[in-house]
Structure 1
Amino acid sequence: MDYTLEVIGVPVSDIDRAKEFYESKCGFHVDIDAEVLPGVRIVQLTPPGSGCSIMLGDAIWETTPGPTPEPGSYHGLQLCVADIKQAHAELLARGLDVSEPVQYSEQDGATFMYFTDPDGNGWAIQEYRVRAKTPLRDAIVPST
Structure 2
Amino acid sequence: MRPGSLKGVQLVVRDIRAARAELVGRGVEATEVRVLRSSGARPAKDDEDLNNVGFVFFSDPDGNGWAVQEINVRR
The 5-angstrom pairing of residues 18-29 of structure 1 reads: none
Residue matched to 1:117: 60
Query: 1:108 deviation in Å?
Result: 2.4
Ranges in structure 2 where 5+ consecutive residues have no aligned partner: 38-48
- Counterpart Cα distance in 2 of 1:94 and 1:107: 23
Q: Which is richer in helix?
A: 1
Cα RMSD for the two superposed structures: 1.7
* 1:74 aligned onto 2:6: yes
Ranges in structure 1 where 5+ consecutive residues have no aligned partner: 1-68, 131-138
TM-score normalised to structure 2 length: 0.74
CA 1:101 to 1:107, structure 2 compared with 1: closer, same or farther past 3 Å?
closer
TM-score normalised to structure 1 length: 0.41
Query: 1:107 deviation in Å?
Result: 6.5
